[in-house]
Chains A and B, each alone.
Chain A
Amino acid sequence: MKEVAHVALGRAPYRPVWELQRRLAALRRQGHIPDLLLSLEHEPVITVGRQGGAGHVLAPQEVLDRLKVEVVEVERGGDVTYHGPGQLILYPILDLRDHGRDLRRYVASLEEVMIRTAARFGVEAHRRPGFPGIWQGLKKLGSVGVHVRGWVTMHGLALNVDLQPNLFSLIVPCGLHGVEAVSLAQLAGRPIPMEEARAAALEVFSQVFSVRLTPLDREALERWGT
């Protein structure tokens, strides 16, 4: 079975992790490091993908400044989204030539990870054709946004576990009016600790991608990343 080294980054601000991902993806493309999976939560941030418009950020700048929420334009697919505490982020740095070499199937696999993770908490979520991510009705539970160069991935998935606070109100999620963000905790009707959701998602990830996750400490990663 293929191995993917997993690194838990805890809670981290957006930009340093973004820069780390870019360095790691470059090293992966050069074959210097193995496949990796980063799991983390971000400090509050709004990111705008390649299909995004700044018009989809609703909050005025002074509100964003007061809340210390930065708006960052990034190279992933998709429109605008929010990341923050209580949202589980998985950033796989995978060479897709070893994982099916199929962009659509990769996105579908990330959705599958979220659907099966939600199911572990008794929450039924589904895909909406034409609207990547996972949904319950018109409520969005999880997002995908991916960047691939030389078949090596970066960015990934964001699953709303138990948003504290829920700052999706600052934006038009995915640039789709009428879409409301919802969390696993809301749909399950009980608090869900991040650690519980993370453990479930990692187990599901290894099933969906047919890989074995091997823990890697953060120091080793940072040595690679610099």
Chain B
Amino acid sequence: MDITVPLLGEVEEVTLVRWLVQVGQEVQAGEAVAEVEADKAVFVIEAPAAGRLAEALVPEGGRVRPGEAIGRLEGT
């Protein structure tokens, strides 16, 4: 399952400022997994389901558009 940046309104692009979990780490549904920032506003990305972070698709400092995936979760 993909972890995506939600639609944030008029925001066209955000910077992934930090991953809060490491690849391989297990997360609970709703757990904070990453922070993105646009216009001095940090938005916390939460895990859409429980699972293990299988892959980080965007590195810290990378740019991403709302609606796009930043990582992939594998079921446990």
* A66 at interface, CB cutoff 8 A: no
Q: How many residues of chain A are within 8 Å of chain B by beta carbon?
A: 25
Q: Is the interface of B mostly helix, strand, loop or mixed?
A: strand
CB interface residues, B 27-58, toward A, < 8 Å = 32, 35, 37-44, 46
Are B40 and A103 in contact, with the CB atoms below 8 A? no
Q: Is the interface of A mostly helix, strand, loop or mixed?
A: mixed
Are B10 and A102 in contact, with the CB atoms below 8 A? yes
Top 9 closest pairs, chain A to chain B, by CB: A102-B9, A149-B44, A146-B41, A77-B40, A78-B40, A104-B10, A103-B8, A132-B40, A77-B42
Give, as a whole number of angstroms, the nearest-CB distance from A25 to chain B: 10
Are B8 and A104 in contact, with the CB atoms below 8 A? yes
How many contacts between A and B, using CB within 8 angstroms?
70
Are A103 and B17 in contact, with the CB atoms below 8 A? no
**Chain A interface residues toward B at CB < 8 A:** 49-51, 75-78, 100-107, 132-133, 143-150
Q: Which of A50, A101, A144, A149 contacts B37 (CB 8 A)?
A: A50
Are B39 and A107 in contact, with the CB atoms below 8 A? yes
Query: Taking A50-B37, A103-B8, A104-B11 as contacts, is the C-beta distance between A76 and B46 under 8 angstroms?
Result: no
